[in-house]
Structure formats: structure tokens, C-alpha cells
Structure 1
Amino acid sequence: MVQVAAALLFAVAAGLGITVIVAMLKSNEDAILSALLGEGAFPIAVAPKSGPAPRVLPLRRTGARPIRNAARPQPQFSRAA
């Protein structure tokens, strides 16, 4: 009896999994198929361009002043320990 219930539960789970896969294919068919074919989500013509930036922005220097920590250091262990 337990084996029959387990087999039915497995069949229901497998059917539900197949239903989810088919629903995903129907709603997102183009993106999934292009990813499987190795094209990716974007066609090559409209894909984001990679490489160096078109112009470089220099970083602003703040001077030679050291940065001071406003918080006072806390002891590593509490006094109660």
C-alpha cells in the first residue's frame, strides 16, 4: 500500500514538473531557445558593448591629510568576562 502511494506521489510530482517546464517554454520560448543555441538573451547587433570606457574620468585627490577615525577604540573583551 505504501509503495502504491509513493508511486502515485512520484507520478503526480513528475507530471507537475513537466507542466511547469511546458509553461516556461510557452511564456519565454524565444529567450530559452536562443540561450540553448548559444546566442544568449541578446542578439549580437544589440548586445551591450564590452571593452574600455570611451573616456576616462580622473579621480579627485583629497590632499595629503590622513583620515582620522572619529570613533574611539573599543576593548576586545568586556570587563564582565
Structure 2
Amino acid sequence: MLEKQIEEYLTKKVRSLGGMSIKLTSLIGIPDRLVLLPYGRCVFVELKAPGESPRKIQLKRMQQLRGLGFKVYVADSYERVDEVIGNALQTT
């Protein structure tokens, strides 16, 4: 499975819930997607091919975002995407 396939799955899943999956590219290491869901829920998602890990700069950006109070996830499978969205929908 390719990272691109997981990204497409995430985007379709979020859209089916009435949300938006915005591709981010303006800052080196920033997570791939900003996911906006109904009721003001917002999470960052770094997408990887199965078994891959974030690079050092990506880990740094994730730490910075978490330090600001944002939820940040890594997804490397369809199942993990489902978990991330489930967690995001339960966040208040």
C-alpha cells in the first residue's frame, strides 16, 4: 500500500463526514494534512506508508504543534485513519 492511497482514503472519509482535509506544504516538516471536522474539531495528520516512521524534522514539528495544544497523529494504514478520525470526533 502506498502513502498516497492512505491519503486518498483519509480525504474521502473526512469528506463523507462533512469535513475538510487540507493538504499542507508551506513549512518543512509540517504534517501532511489539516483535518477539520464538524463542531470545531481539528487535528493534524502525518501520513506514511505502512511501517514507515516520521523523519526527525517531522517529529520536531509534531512536538511543536502538540506544545501549542493541537492533536497530531501519524497514520500508516486505513485502520489507523479510522482510529484517528474516531479519536478526533470524540475530542471536545
TM category, shorter: under 0.3
* TM-score for both structures, normalised by structure 1: 0.21
Structure whose CA Rg is larger: 1
More strand by share: 2
* TM-score for both structures, normalised by structure 2: 0.19
Greater relative CO, 1 or 2 (CA 8 Å, sep 6+): 2
